[in-house]
Amino acid sequence: MAAGQVERRARGDPVSGTVTHTIPDPTFQNYTYVIGGSPVIGAPGSIFMANYVNSLLNGGDIGNTLLNFHIGSNSIAWQVPGDYPSTPAYDQGRLYVANKNPVRLEVRAESDGRLIWSWIPPQAGDIAFISEVLLTKNLVFVSTNLATYAVDLTKRLTVWSVPLVGKLSLSKNGVLYIQAADEISAFNVY
């Protein structure tokens, strides 16, 4: 593979591991050749991805593109430019993704990438997302540079927040863990 060229591996032979198909990413720009996140599997044949590291390089000036790869046709179904810093979450035809430009949580349609609704962090100083999106049946959790928020999926409003930031994890018993640089905090959210 030549310098600057990236291929998203779409399918491989399950026995040998040999790549059988690739889908080129025409938006890839990165001198480090690091993606910095994970692909998200949607409905059968649908995979979401962005070059998350580009959101962090050069102070976020590069930005990146959220892509939906269609495995059946070996093509990109749609793409949305923005500044997507972390792996999104998916459920029932909807993609929940943090965007730093503009700063908002976006809910996008799997079928065509259109914006269904968005949520803007309530504090004026909220300028960046720290965590990946954490999705439950009725809430979505995100951590910004100022706080961690729970957004109600039906009301589309903040229903809970705490002035702690970090990476998020949720136990099966409803304990939300926030991992900051020097501590881990736990909250019972069920």
User: What domains can you pick out in the chain, each with its CATH number?
Assistant: 1-120 (2.40.128.630), 123-190 (2.40.10.360)
Quickly count: other Cβ atoms within 10 Å of residue 26's Cβ: 10
Long-range contacts of 5-8 (CB under 8 A, 24+ apart): 6/33, 8/39, 8/47, 8/49, 8/69
> Digits of tens for pLDDT over the chain (190 positions)?
333 334 444 456 678 878 777 887 777 666 665 667 888 999 999 999 888 777 666 555 667 889 999 988 888 999 999 889 899 999 999 999 999 989 999 999 999 999 999 999 999 999 999 999 999 999 999 999 999 999 999 999 999 999 999 999 999 999 999 999 899 999 998 7
166: alpha, beta or left? (left if phi > 0; alpha if psi -120 to 50) = left
Q: What is the pLDDT of residue 64?
A: 84
Q: What is the pLDDT of residue 8?
A: 45
55: alpha, beta or left? (left if phi > 0; alpha if psi -120 to 50) = alpha
Q: Element (H or E) spanning 116, and its range?
A: strand 115-119
Q: What is the pLDDT of residue 56?
A: 67
Q: What is the pLDDT of residue 12?
A: 63
What is d(CA 190, CA 175) in angstroms, rounded to the nearest whole number?
7
Question: Model's pTM, two decimal places?
Answer: 0.86
Q: What is the pLDDT of residue 155?
A: 97
